[in-house]
């Protein structure tokens, strides 16, 4: 049986959703509860923090634009046996694409409505008082399918400030379930793609415990737990996303870590063996592997080490002669000929593709992607289209190889980041994309 749950959302990004979600997970864990975390939308950093806070349960992404109803239900069913579900939204509660995808437009509200979870609204109340209640009332009335169970006030400056805020919410008839004071001493560090990765923070356990203490001290945990609603039962299980091979050499270190947890889970569920290797430690793919997969990450932060990793580069080239090698975003850049760092220095990469990228003049590329491959990717020969997400700051200097796919954004507008591929002389296929695969597409425009 799926336990009761709720979804943490807000009017906008940067309001403190992640702070509250992690704090709630940690606080409930400290009470001895088993917490199942989820993340709404295409985020590959926050789930790692959720997993660290939950300790015994891995977080997973729920994405209404890229996932069909069966996949959403199957992922939600992994919460079976937990005491409570805590899901974190993305951006603002109703923010999504203009054109719907598989199940919705990617908004956190889609997930809340489909799963039957009430929304716990986080409001950054800096610079306002009673007006915060008016904002919350607007969100509460915008869609009758989405129910607000209460609010948590974040960055409250003083007791007087809090009393004014509570007066506004009393008038609006919305329960205040917590009021967090301004705190700068326990903020999690961030970089250009979001939070610094969980594995890079040696004091993460202490920071999560501090967040849990903060939420437990300033929020009504009993009322929040009581507000959680039993999740709707799943429908028929989703067909697993095909594994790219039986033995998958997976690049895994601080430079290559952005892969969606449900992909790895599906691959393993089909009997695939994951064989991690570290390019930063100058390791080559396991020779017995049938495919190599380089996820996204931060190759630009480690470009000198990658350029000097001769064992990795030579081993990858030998592997690619006869077997498939695929890279996503950062992994794609690492498969290219060169990468120009922010200081203008060019670093050679693996050279399996002709791609040249640069971070000297950064430009954000962000959004959902629908790709129709021109060649069959490992394990995905039967998928006419793929749904994914692109988020990076690299500029393409040169992309001379054949385009891998016809790629459009969520509105059907063509994008230049088509990916590329090369057939190797001895039968191998090297391919790469700037988007991260979320799931094969069913509903395509």
- As annotated, the active-site residues are 329
* Token pair 């932060």: residue: 301
289: left (phi over 0), alpha (psi -120 to 50) or beta: beta
What is the Cα–Cα distance from 340 to 348, expressed in whole angstroms? 9
DSSP 216-238: HHHB-HHHHHHH-EEPPPP-SPP
Site of tokens 């809090």? 162
For 82, the token pair is: 């937990």
Cβ-based neighbours of 27, under 8 Å, separated by 6 or more: 212, 213, 215, 216, 219, 221
Q: Distance between CA atoms of 17 and 117, rounded to whole angstroms?
A: 16
H or E element that contains 261: helix 261-269
Distance of CA 263 to the CA centre of its chain: 12
Q: How far apart are CA 392 and CA 192, in angstroms?
A: 9
């Amino acid at each position: 049986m799926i336990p009761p749950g709720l979804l943490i959302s807000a009017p906008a990004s940067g309001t403190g959703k992640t702070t509250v979600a992690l704090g709630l997970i940690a606080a409930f864990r400290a009470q001895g509860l088993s917490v199942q975390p989820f993340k709404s939308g295409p985020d590959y950093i926050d789930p790692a923090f959720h997993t660290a806070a939950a300790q015994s349960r891995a977080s997973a992404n729920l994405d209404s634009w890229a996932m069909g109803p069966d996949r959403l239900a199957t992922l939600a069913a992994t919460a079976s046996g937990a005491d409570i579900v805590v899901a974190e939204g993305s951006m603002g509660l109703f923010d999504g694409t203009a054109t719907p995808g598989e199940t919705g437009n990617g908004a956190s509200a889609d997930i809340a409505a489909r799963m039957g979870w009430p929304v716990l609204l986080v409001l950054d109340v800096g610079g306002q008082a009673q007006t915060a209640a008016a904002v919350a009332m607007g969100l509460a009335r915008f869609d009758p399918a989405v129910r607000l169970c209460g609010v948590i006030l974040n960055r409250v400056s003083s007791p007087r400030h809090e009393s004014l805020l509570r007066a506004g919410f009393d008038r609006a008839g919305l329960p205040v379930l917590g009021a967090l004071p301004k705190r700068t001493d326990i903020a999690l560090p961030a970089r250009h793609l979001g939070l610094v990765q969980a594995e890079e923070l040696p004091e993460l356990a202490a920071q999560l415990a501090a967040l849990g203490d903060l939420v437990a001290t300033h929020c009504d945990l009993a009322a929040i737990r009581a507000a959680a609603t039993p999740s709707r039962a799943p429908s028929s299980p989703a067909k697993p996303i095909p594994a790219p091979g039986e033995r998958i050499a997976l690049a895994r270190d601080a430079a290559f870590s952005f892969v969606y947890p449900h992909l790895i889970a599906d691959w393993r569920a089909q009997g695939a063996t994951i064989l991690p290797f570290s390019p930063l430690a100058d390791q080559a793919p396991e020779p017995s592997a049938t495919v190599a997969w380089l996820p996204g990450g931060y190759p630009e932060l480690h470009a000198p080490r990658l350029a000097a990793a001769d064992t990795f580069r030579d081993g990858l080239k030998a592997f690619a002669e006869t077997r498939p090698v695929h890279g996503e975003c950062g992994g794609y850049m690492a498969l290219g000929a060169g990468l120009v760092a922010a200081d203008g220095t060019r670093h050679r990469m693996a050279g399996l593709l002709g791609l040249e990228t640069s971070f000297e003049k950064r430009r954000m590329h962000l959004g959902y992607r629908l790709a129709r491959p021109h060649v069959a990717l490992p394990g995905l020969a039967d998928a006419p289209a793929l749904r994914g997400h692109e988020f990076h700051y690299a500029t393409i200097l040169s992309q001379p190889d054949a385009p891998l796919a016809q790629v459009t954004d969520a509105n059907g507008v063509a994008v230049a980041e088509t990916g590329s591929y090369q057939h190797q002389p001895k039968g191998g296929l090297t391919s790469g994309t700037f988007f991260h695969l979320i799931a094969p597409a069913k509903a395509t425009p």
